[in-house]
């Protein structure tokens, strides 16, 4: 069956360090992958989309990689700040063409 797996354990890092979050998928061949940020009690907010023919994409302090051979995406936040503390979700289109989300990884950036 199709699965999306993200680190279930919370990631705690020090301010200024780089946070790296992982998204692995099985039994998919997605044309693209997306990352969203979700704050408590709020809906997810779109951050980045990377297509299968793109190895890397950047937006300000954010960087996403997409390895279709490993079936993995890495999401990096450089020079992290306490305001980056949130849950980060990866999402893929399933075979039915609908956007399916991972369970999310909670990031906590300490001052």
Partner 1 sequence: ETGVTQSPTHLIKTRGQQVTLRCSSQSGHNTVSWYQQALGQGPQFIFQYYREEENGRGNFPPRFSGLQFPNYSSELNVNALELDDSALYLCASSRGDRNEKLFFGSGTQLSVL
**Is 30 one of the binding residues for partner 1 (CB under 8 A)?**
no
Q: Which tokens hold the place of 91?
A: 């999402």
- Which CB, 40 or 111, lies closer to partner 1? 40
User: Within 13 Å and on the Cβ side, how many CA atoms surround 84?
Assistant: 28
Which residue's CB is nearer to partner 1, number 92 or number 109? 92
CA–CA gap between residue 38 and residue 16 (Å, rounded): 21
- Say whether residue 93 binds partner 1 (CB under 8 A): yes
**Is residue 59 a contact residue for partner 1 (CB under 8 A)?**
no
Interacting residue ranges for partner 1, rule: CB under 8 A: 4, 6, 32, 34, 36, 41-46, 49, 89, 93, 96-104
């Amino acid at each position: 069956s199709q699965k999306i797996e993200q680190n279930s354990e919370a990631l705690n890092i020090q301010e200024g360090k780089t946070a790296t979050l992982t998204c692995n998928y099985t039994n998919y061949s997605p044309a693209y992958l997306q990352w969203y940020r979700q704050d408590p009690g709020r809906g997810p907010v779109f951050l980045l989309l990377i297509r299968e023919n793109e190895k890397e994409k950047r937006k300000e302090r954010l960087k996403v990689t997409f390895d279709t051979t490993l079936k993995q995406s890495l999401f990096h936040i450089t020079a992290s700040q306490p305001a980056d503390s949130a849950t980060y979700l990866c999402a893929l289109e399933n075979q039915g063409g609908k956007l399916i989300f991972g369970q999310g990884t909670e990031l906590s950036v300490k001052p």
